Amino acid sequence: MALEKIEYDASHCQRCSTCKWSHIWEIKSHRFARNCPSIWYGVYDAYAAQGKNDIATGLLKGEIDWNTSRDKLLEIIYRCPLCAACDINCKRIMDLDIIGVLDALREEACEKGYGPLPQHKEFIQSIMNYDNVWKQPRTRRANWAKKLDVKDLSKKGEKAEVLYYVGCTYAYKPGMETVPQGTARIMKKAGIDFGILGAKEVCCGGIADNVGDKKSFEEIADKNLKMFEEVGAKTIVTNCPGCFMTFSEKYARYLKKDTKDLPYVVKHSTVYIDELIQQGKLTFKKNIPLRVTYHDPCHLARRGEPYKHWEGKRIQWGLTDPPRELNRGVNGNYEQPRNILKAIPGVNLVEMERIKEYAWCCGSGAGSKSAYPDFALAVSKERIEEAEATGASAIVSACPWCEANLSDGIDASGSKMKVLDIIDLVEQALEG
């Protein structure tokens, strides 16, 4: 039973409501003080982390019955982007693994045969049939790379120092191919020896894990781990924060080892580009007069910390045997994208009130956009209002899901803001 492994965390909630707000020291105004999209939208306490802790405890004790409450339980469990804002805020005062509770509730739903939701099953079936979430032929996976003369490491005899993993959305979604194309040109400009997996690139499987389908996730993970070993991938660079977190955190959790002990190092493109700038391999030449604000993608930011595996006994109030080091969100990838923006001549970076580990989620993560589009759109519009309050003319991010949902929020609200991918800005600034 998935819930048994998180009984301590669910039952030791103190109902302090810290999971609903940014930490008091981080709040700049009442208007942008909330941090949990689920309860902000759903209002009732069941949608907050403390409410979900009560649900998990109730299910464990038999006080809540799946058969009589199934539809509502599934809505509460899945209308959540798993952004981990609640988890980070809880850990300011407690030692509870809230994101573990949220994951376990979804895993429990799948074990009972009630989950994942139909919209999520569609994605997973697509991965199993086509190796991508978009029901697209494998042969189209590397269409973005035509005329770029990029190595295909899946072909016999091809080797490279860096594996560039593109991901399903950047590879297939119309209009987003500019990001992998720009990334490839940037790495060429820096003199990097890199290659791709071409038509043999397989979805990371993060969505399967996010919705609780552990069996499918492990099957996909095994396929990718085998491919990485076959091509000798020691350094993997990816643009998608979801892929980044899956390869660094989810695969480490699955293999029961620390991220640092994985047979490869995975870096998000912003981290890699920041390193190239620091090494003097990239120099910005073009002035771009633009006032921007930056949106932290959850999987790159507070959920982008290296995973530290632990097995042992929970005792009480932070005491464990053996001692356990918790992920508190402080070691996410926050500064690298900001370093890049600050290095571009003419770009003026202004910050929103909720940033870094306290950033407001875009609303589309963990299958929430596909199953609950109205929720995802409302959360996006809230972020756009916060971005507009800075006086910026554009919101910059580094995630295809964030950018797509924020764009939907702009269209729905009638905002004049633009959404830009940081890779597009980098390539533009390198011209001249």
pLDDT at 321 over 70: yes
Tell me the mean pLDDT in the region 54-63: 97
Judging by beta carbons within 10 Å of its beta carbon (0-12, 13-18, 19+), is residue 405 exposed, middle or buried? buried
The model's pLDDT over 69-92, given as tens digits with 9 standing for 90+, comes to 999 999 999 999 999 999 999 998
- For 344, which DSSP code? S
The model's pLDDT over 11-31, given as tens digits with 9 standing for 90+, comes to 999 999 999 999 889 999 999
Sheet holding 194-196, edge to edge: 151-152, 194-196, 162-165, 235-238, 265-268
Q: In the numeric block, which tokens belong to residue 129?
A: 């049939």
Domain ranges of the chain: 1-115, 116-430
Count of C-beta atoms within a 10 Å radius of residue 4: 9
The model's pLDDT over 111-166, given as tens digits with 9 standing for 90+, comes to 999 999 999 999 999 999 999 999 999 999 999 999 999 999 999 999 999 999 99
Average predicted confidence (pLDDT) for the chain:
96
Q: Pick from 336, 358, 197, 203: which is nearest to 269 by CA?
A: 336
pLDDT at 337 over 90: yes
Whole-angstrom distance, CA of residue 395 vs CA of residue 388: 9
pLDDT of 315: 85
Q: Element (H or E) spanning 183, and its range? A: helix 178-189
pTM over 0.75: yes
Whole-angstrom distance, CA of residue 34 vs CA of residue 85: 10
- Report the amino acid identity of residue 90: C
Whether 82 and 37 have beta carbons less than 8 Å apart is answered as no
pLDDT of 247: 98
- For 93, which DSSP code? T
Percent over 90 (pLDDT), the chain? 95
pLDDT of 1: 78
pLDDT at 432 over 60: no
Whole-angstrom distance, CA of residue 165 vs CA of residue 146: 16
The model's pLDDT over 211-256, given as tens digits with 9 standing for 90+, comes to 999 999 999 999 999 999 999 999 999 999 999 999 999 999 999 9
- Report the amino acid identity of residue 110: C
The model's pLDDT over 353-372, given as tens digits with 9 standing for 90+, comes to 999 999 999 999 999 999 99
**Cα 31 to the center of its chain, rounded Å:** 25
pLDDT of 317: 78
The model's pLDDT over 366-406, given as tens digits with 9 standing for 90+, comes to 999 999 999 999 999 999 999 999 999 999 999 999 999 99
Whole-angstrom distance, CA of residue 379 vs CA of residue 37: 6
Whole-angstrom distance, CA of residue 229 vs CA of residue 245: 19
When pLDDT is cut at 50, 70 and 90, the band that residue 431 belongs to is confident
